[in-house]
C-alpha cells in the first residue's frame, strides 16, 4: 500500500504492488507469496481487477453493487461484484468501446458505443441487439422520461434513438461542425452538447429547440492563460438543476450557473492536456477533474485545491464510488487503480488517518474489504 498526502489529505493506493502472472500455477503462486515480501503484502481488494492490456472506461452501477469496465486486447467488458469482491463475468466484444452507459440499477441493461459506429445492447444474459449510427460517435446520453438515446460525434446532427419504439427519430441540428461530448440534466432534462468550436449548446428535449448557447472557448481565456490553439469541449457534467461544469482540450474547467452566460469560476490544470472526466462531490462542495496526467479535487466555490493525485500511468477515465471515499481509475496499464480518501467520507473509521499498525500488514485485505462493504 502506498500513501500520499497533499494539504494534509491522505490518499491510500489500494492497487499498487506486483501482479502475479496468470500462467503461474496455484502452487507456484503460493510459493512466491512465501518468498517475496512485496507480493505477500500486496492488496488485491477486488479479484482480477485488471485488463489484459489497457482499461479505457469504468463506471459504477446505480445500486453500487457492480463495477463495469471496458478495455483491450481483445475488446471486452468486465463486471465486478462489490459484495463478493470478485469478477462476476467477462464478455468479449467485436470492436473497441468508446463509452458505455448503464441504463438499469444493476448490470442488466447496458448500451455500448463502439468505434466502428455500432451501438450494442446487452441484457443480463449477454448480447441482445446492435445497430449503427450514420456517423462515428464520441459520446451519448440517455433521456429517461422519453426513452431516447442521444448520440453525438463526427457530425453536426445529434442522433436520437427511441428505445420504446425501436426506431430513430428526427435528429437535432446543431450549429457545430462536430460534437464531442454531451450530458442530460437529471433534474429538468436539459440536454447539452459540447462542440469542437468550443461552445456548449443546450436543448429542450420536449420541444427539440435550442434554448441556450455558451461560448466556453472565449470564457476559458484568462489573463494568465497560455493558449496555443482553439479550445474545444472535451468534458461536460451537470450537477443539480443549475450547475454545469465544462472541460476543454487545453486543460481548463469552467463552472457555470445556467442562469448566466459567464462562468462562476475557471480552473486551469496547468498541463495543457484535455480534461477527460469531471465529477461532483457534494458533501464537501468539491469538483473532481482529471486529465491524462493528474486528478485534481478543488472547492467549487473558491477554486482552492483540496488535494490531487498523480498516478504512474496515464489516465483514461475516473469514477467515484458513491458514499465511500473510493476513487476508481482506468489507466494505460493492465491494472485499474483503486484509491481511498478518508477525508472525502470515511467509510469505516478515522483510524486510517493515523499511522498504519503493523497488524494491518497481516490482515490488510480484510481491513480494506470492511471499508468498501460498510458503504452499503
Closest C-alpha to 131, from 172, 167, 96, 98? 167
Closest C-alpha to 103, from 13, 184, 215? 184
Phi-psi region of 371 (alpha: psi -120 to 50; beta: other; left: phi over 0): alpha
Local structure of residue 20 (DSSP, 8 states): P
- Characterize the bridge pairing of strands 191-195 and 179-184: antiparallel
| Residue 285, all three cell numbers | 462542495
Strand order in the sheet with 199-204: 179-184, 191-195, 199-204, 209-215
pLDDT given for residue 224 in this prediction: 64
Give how far Cα 274 sits from Cα of 3, 233, 333, Å.
27, 9, 19
Evaluate the CA torsion angle 318, 187, 121, 119 in order and state its sign. Answer: negative
Write down all domains in the chain, each with its CATH number in brackets.
Answer: 2-373 (2.130.10.10)
Q: Whole-model pTM?
A: 0.85
pLDDT in tens, the chain (376 residues): 567 667 678 888 887 655 555 556 667 666 766 666 665 566 677 888 989 999 999 999 999 999 999 999 899 999 999 998 899 999 999 999 999 999 999 999 999 999 999 999 999 999 999 999 999 999 999 999 999 999 999 999 999 999 999 999 999 999 999 999 999 999 999 999 999 999 999 999 999 999 999 999 888 776 566 667 789 999 999 999 999 999 999 999 999 999 999 999 999 998 889 999 999 998 889 999 999 999 999 999 999 999 999 988 899 999 999 888 889 999 999 889 999 888 776 444 444 444 333 333 333 444 455 455 545 5
pLDDT given for residue 283 in this prediction: 85
Q: Three-state DSSP class for 95? A: coil
Give how far Cα 218 sits from Cα of 27, 201, 273, 276, 337, Å.
62, 15, 18, 20, 35
pLDDT given for residue 75 in this prediction: 96
Give how far Cα 108 sits from Cα of 18, 345, 348, 369, Å.
33, 29, 30, 25
pLDDT given for residue 184 in this prediction: 96
pLDDT given for residue 358 in this prediction: 37
Amino acid at each position: 500500500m502506498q500513501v500520499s498526502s497533499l494539504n494534509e489529505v491522505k490518499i491510500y493506493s489500494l492497487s499498487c504492488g506486483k501482479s502475479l502472472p496468470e500462467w503461474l500455477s496455484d502452487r507456484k503462486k503460493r510459493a512466491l507469496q512465501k518468498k517475496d515480501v512485496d507480493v505477500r503484502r500486496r492488496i488485491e481488494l477486488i479479484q482480477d481487477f485488471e485488463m489484459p492490456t489497457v482499461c479505457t472506461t469504468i463506471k459504477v452501477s446505480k445500486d453500487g453493487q457492480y463495477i463495469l469496465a471496458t478495455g483491450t486486447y481483445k475488446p471486452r467488458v468486465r463486471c465486478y461484484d462489490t459484495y463478493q469482491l470478485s469478477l462476476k463475468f467477462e464478455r468479449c466484444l467485436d470492436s473497441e468501446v468508446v463509452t458505455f452507459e448503464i441504463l438499469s440499477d444493476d448490470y442488466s441493461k447496458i448500451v455500448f458505443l463502439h468505434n466502428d459506429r455500432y451501438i450494442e445492447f446487452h441484457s443480463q444474459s449477454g448480447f441482445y441487439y446492435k445497430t449503427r449510427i450514420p456517423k462515428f460517435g464520441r459520446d451519448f446520453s440517455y433521456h429517461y422520461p422519453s426513452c431516447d438515446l442521444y448520440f453525438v460525434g463526427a457530425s453536426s446532427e445529434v442522433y436520437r434513438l427511441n428505445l420504446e419504439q425501436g426506431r430513430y427519430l428526427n435528429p437535432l441540428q446543431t450549429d457545430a461542425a462536430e460534437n464531442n461530448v454531451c450530458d442530460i440534466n437529471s433534474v429538468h432534462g436539459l440536454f447539452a452538447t459540447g462542440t469542437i468550436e468550443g461552445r456548449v449548446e443546450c436543448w429542450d428535449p420536449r420541444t427539440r429547440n435550442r434554448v441556450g448557447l455558451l461560448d466556453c472557448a472565449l470564457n476559458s481565456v484568462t489573463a494568465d492563460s497560455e493558449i496555443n490553439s482553439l479550445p474545444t469541449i472535451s468534458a461536460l457534467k451537470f450537477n443539480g438543476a443549475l450547475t454545469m461544469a465544462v472541460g476543454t482540450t487545453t486543460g481548463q474547467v469552467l463552472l457555470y450557473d445556467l442562469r448566466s452566460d459567464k462562468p462562476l469560476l475557471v480552473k486551469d490544470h496547468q498541463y495543457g492536456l484535455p480534461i477527460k472526466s469531471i465529477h461532483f462531490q457534494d458533501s464537501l462542495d468539491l469538483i473532481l477533474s482529471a486529465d491524462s496526467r493528474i486528478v485534481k479535487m478543488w472547492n467549487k466555490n473558491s477554486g482552492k485545491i483540496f488535494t490531487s493525485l498523480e498516478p504512474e500511468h496515464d489516465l483514461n477515465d475516473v469514477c467515484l464510488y458513491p458514499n465511500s471515499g473510493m476513487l476508481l481509475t482506468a489507466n494505460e496499464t493492465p491494472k485499474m487503480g483503486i484509491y481511498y480518501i478518508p477525508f472525502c467520507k470515511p467509510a469505516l473509521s478515522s483510524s486510517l488517518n493515523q499511522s498504519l499498525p503493523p497488524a494491518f500488514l497481516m490482515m490488510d485485505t480484510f481491513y480494506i474489504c470492511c471499508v468498501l462493504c460498510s458503504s452499503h
